[in-house]
Structure 1
Amino acid sequence: MSDHHPPLRSYGRLKTRTIKPRQAALVESLLPGLRPPAGPFDPRALMPEAAEIWLEIGFGGGEHMAAQAGLHPDALIIGAEPFQNGVASALRHIDEAQLTNVRVLDGDARELMANLPDASLARIYVLFPDPWPKARHNKRRLVNAELLVELARVLKPGGGLRFATDWADYADWTLERVLRDPAFSWPATRACDWRVPPADHITTRYEEKRLGDCAPVFLDFVRQ
């Protein structure tokens, strides 16, 4: 197999508005020291004292990632987000809370995961990804069989994958695909297991806008 792959395609806008001066300054000063290495790397080397390594795919404005990092200083949280305004917002949260256990890739999480060792992550978050609700755009959705293979590879046995959406069709879409993959199980037994936010969930301003067509759905899967 060739080592040369075509660049991954990210759908949607990568920037919408001018980044505020303070955040732009953080992109210049703070971001370079937070970026993971460009090639294959062991995430434990980024924070040797970390008890666990977590990944947030598409962290939006970084509220959830920064809050979880503040609550769990013994975990290293790596976030990936191609949207430049979101990265700038996340850097502000990291700077204000003086967090030292966060690393940020201003790019595609799939490229990051390709550089991670097998079974290196204890937890992965995919929270409110772009739903691409029109049927002809469904193929653009982040969750697909190829992504699930990679998530299963980098997650430790017993590791957690949390998916959240406020689009009913995307919840069904994801549940169908994850349950088709023998690497994952879904331990939910009653409706409140997916209708009630998990006890450790951090609600963000984006989530509160309720831009979807249903109340938020939380799907917590376990790596077999």
Structure 2
Amino acid sequence: MTDTPPESPASEATPERPWRNFYGRRHGKTLRDSQRGYLDEDLRALSPGAVEFDENPERRPLDLGKLFGGKPVWLEVGFGGGEHMVHMAAAYPDIGILGCEPFINGVAMLLGKIRRAGVENVSVHPGDVRDLFDVLPDGSIAKAFLNYPDPWPKARHHRRRFVTPEHLEPLHRVLAPGAEFRVATDIPDYVRQTLEEVPPAGFELVEEGGVAWGDWISTRYEQKALREGRVPHYLTFRRV
């Protein structure tokens, strides 16, 4: 979860690309020299190039077999500072992990963690997950994670949350039958909306409560929530 960000302008529409508003921050504090180096030196090699419109104007499906050498693929939506993504990549070297995050400062933090951990089974899209959904083949993702998403606390902004049909319908399409979808949040109203909106999108609730998954690592946003007295909640769904 990030602090509630200002709105960003809509993405530019083309005949091939749908018009989409993007709400959130793309840039934060000035990057350190080392972080700029990570972006300049590492990002392109780790990016799934087919997501970029100038490289794939016809929106051809992303070749995950080529990207990850035939490994099962997991998707992390909004990886924040990258702690969870790198932890899972190190814990599961036989899995390919595809992460997306539009906040470039978070992308830079992730790239630094990837260097230090030496993990190689990762791919990074520095942008909107909806662009990934456009090029991911049906049933190609074996597991998905949504950890501490932006809460958008005002009622009129709840439609901007990830747990809405705009995101859940394509997520359901790209997940394999029986695939797991995990959600972690410290916002009670986000739990409410998740329980209301995710099952009708084609998911069944498997488990929910205050006990984290066995392979969970507490992220910077969870630690912030705990310091401020908010209680984490963990939900597991299965794609049906």
1:55-66 correspondence runs (5 A): 55-66=75-86
The superposition leaves residues 107-150 of structure 1 with CA deviations (integer Å, 9 ceiling, x where unpaired) of: 00110111010000000001111000111221221220121111
Give the whole-Å Cα distance in 2 for the aligned partners of 1:214 and 1:89.
Answer: 25
| Structure 2 residue 138 is matched with structure 1 residue 118 | yes
Look up the SS of the partner of 1:11 in the other structure.
coil
Q: Partner of 1:216 in structure 2?
A: 232
Could you give the per-residue CA deviations for residues 87-118 of structure 1, whole angstroms, max 9, x where no partner exists?
A: 00000000111111010001001101110100
Corresponding letter in the other structure for 2:162: L
Q: Does 1:156 align with 2:156?
A: no
Taking structure 1 as the reference length, the TM-score comes to 0.92
TM-superposed CA distance for 1:10, in Å, is 2.2
How many angstroms apart in 1 are the aligned matches of 2:174 and 2:156? 30
- CA separation in 1, counterparts of 2:219 and 2:67? 27
What SS does the aligned partner of 2:80 have? coil
Following TM superposition, the consecutive aligned residue runs of length 4 or more in structure 1 with deviations greater than 2 angstroms are 2-10, 37-40, 211-214
* 1:180 CA displacement: 2.0
- Correspondence for 2:67 among 38, 42, 46: 46
Tell me the secondary structure at the aligned position of residue 198 of structure 2.
Answer: helix
Cα separation, 2, equivalents of 1:19 and 1:75: 31
Alignment RMSD (CA, Å):
1.7
2:225 alignment partner, SS class = coil
SS of the residue aligned with 2:29? coil
Q: Answer yes or no: is the 8 Å Cα contact 2:136–2:174 preserved in 1.
A: yes
Q: Comparing 37-46 with 143-152, which one deviates more in the overlay?
A: 37-46
Q: Which amino acid aligns with 2:174?
A: V
1:30 counterpart SS class: helix
- Measure how far apart 1:8 and its partner are: 2.6
Percent identity over paired residues: 44
Q: How does 1:97-136 map to 2 (within 5 A)?
A: 97-136=117-156
Task: Choose from 71, 74, 96 the match for 2:94.
Answer: 74
Q: Say which is worse superposed, 124-133 or 205-214, in terms of deviation.
A: 205-214
Q: CA deviation at 1:213?
A: 7.1
Q: For each residue in 1:31-85, what CA deviation from the matched residue of structure 2 results, as whole angstroms up to 9, or x when unmatched?
A: 00011023421212112142x1000000001111011001111000000000010
Gaps of 5+ in 1: none
TM-score by length of 2: 0.86
Q: Does 1:4 align with 2:16?
A: yes
* Amino acid paired to 2:233: V
